[in-house]
Amino acid sequence: MVPPTEGLPATLFLQELDRELESLALRGELELPPYPAVALRVQEALGRPDFGLDEVARLVGSDAALAAAVLRCANSPLYRRGATATSLTQAIIRVGAHEVMRLLLASCLAAHAHTAGPLAPLRRMIWIEGLCGAALCQELARLRGLKQEEAFLAGLLHDFGKIVACTSLEKIVEKRAGEGTGTAQAWRALIDRHHVALGAALATRWKLPPTLADIIGHHHEEGVSAGDGSGLLDVVRMSDAIVALLVARPGISSADLGGVPGLGKFVEREAVVRVIQKIPEFVDAFESNGAASAGPSPRIEPPATTLDSAGRPVRFGVTVVQGRKSRQFTAHTIASNGLAMVGNEPLLDGRLHETTIHSQPGPLHIWSLARLSRRDGGSYHVEVHPFALSGVERGLWSQLALGDPSET
């Protein structure tokens, strides 16, 4: 019987979870998600030399939610070619059946990131990082003459063990009495400690190709190669470094990428910057309007603030679109990395939102990442960080953050 956790220090609580998760993994008793059934059927169809596009479209369309997600992804800036595709068959013709297969697999796996749970904000953030990694790996593979299909899957799956660790920890927590908590950083450290082993177990269960399994097992080990997949492993490691920059800064320039090991060529850096501008809409295509309800998690200790400085006081309106609904906020503090606002509703932490800042001399339209929502009296204190800003947007944001008497 698992002992109750009420009253235990957060560090001790997480240490106990750490031991229990490791014990379950060693005994092979963790619940690993099965390979998505629809994706498996499509993969089997594509493996036949006589497969037809109509058959692929029918298989993808057997799940309406997945079909809609695949169509949104195919029409995102990362894949869009000319006019908007209005049917699955059009999407398959435009981007290719194997490309649609990758988007379908990603859409299937998105369900694991978007379900409700005590660690849902962390899962959403991990999923965003995975999608960013997939897009970046695919582009870097194209530039280096590597297989883009393998690169996309390597970027998407090499850290999927973090999602497995998250869901496993949630199931353990639900069985425990009391309200044990931890900071987001402490939870992430615990997840990181187990994600390689759980990712390797998932690779075995899903019978992933040896190259991909090697990348999942060794992408954090410096100096270790992946045999024939060494070039792909280098791409994955570069994508990890770029994603770390992407979630830490309002936007990334070519110069910022100069410090990424292995990414020294100007043409590669410029190509990566162009892909980064397309990532927010690509990530948003996987979002579900029926995602978990907003609000703080009872298991994650909220920080006092996510802003990198005390900032400066401002007062202007902010419109945030979550799902299909616009929410109105009033910004009261701005720092170099984000805005603090007050409104009548919370936002989903760890989700990207279309955001309009109603400042002078005109509105600034950006993507922002919700990082904190907590009740403050009869309203909510909400903090958002700008995400993947273009060069022009970075300039406008910097002006706003530094201060201009005309913006208030």
108 neighbors 38 (Cβ within 8 angstroms): yes
Q: What is the Cα–Cα distance from 257 to 194, expressed in whole angstroms?
A: 29
One domain, residues 159 and 253: yes
Q: Write down which residue in 114, 132, 149 finishes a domain.
A: 114
- Decide if pLDDT at 224 tops 70: no
Give just the sign of the alpha carbon dihedral 116, 117, 122, 127.
negative
Residues 268 and 347 in one domain: no
Domain match, 18 and 52 both: no
306 & 285 share domain:
no
* Residue 230 domain flag: yes
- Residue 154, domain member (yes or no): yes
d(CA 110, CA 132): 13
Domain boundary among 237, 264, 290: 290
Domain range enclosing 237: 1-30+117-290
| 365 and 391 in a common domain | yes
Judge whether 296 lies within some domain: no
262/366 same-domain check? no
Minimal CA–CA distance to 354: which of 376, 387, 330, 313? 387
Domain check: are 242 and 156 in the same one? yes
Q: Which CATH number do you get for residue 281? A: 1.10.3210
| Residues 6 or more apart whose Cβ sits within 8 Å of residue 96 | none
Q: What is the pTM of this model?
A: 0.91
Question: Is the pLDDT reported for residue 241 higher than 90?
Answer: yes
* CA angle (189 as vertex; 187, 191 as ends), nearest 5: 70
Domain shared by 26 and 39, yes or no? no
Asked if residue 391 is part of any domain, the answer here is yes
Is 295 domain-assigned? no
β-sheet bridge partners, residue 317: 330, 358
Query: Residue 52 contacts by C-beta under 8 Å, 6 or more apart in sequence?
Result: none
pLDDT digits (tens, 9 = 90+) for 139-176: 999 999 999 989 999 999 999 999 999 999 999 988 87
CA distance 88 to 333: 45
| Whether residue 99 is found in the same domain as residue 39 | yes
Clarify whether residues 192 and 63 are in a common domain: no
Beta strand 312-322 with 352-358 is antiparallel
Phi-psi sector, 260: left (phi>0), alpha (psi -120 to 50), beta:
beta
Same domain assignment for residues 58 and 159: no
Residues 132 and 235 both lie in one domain: yes
pLDDT for res 3: 41
**Per residue in 303-336, pLDDT tens?**
999 999 889 999 999 999 987 789 999 999 999 9
User: Strands, DSSP E only, in 235-336?
Assistant: 300-301, 312-322, 325-335
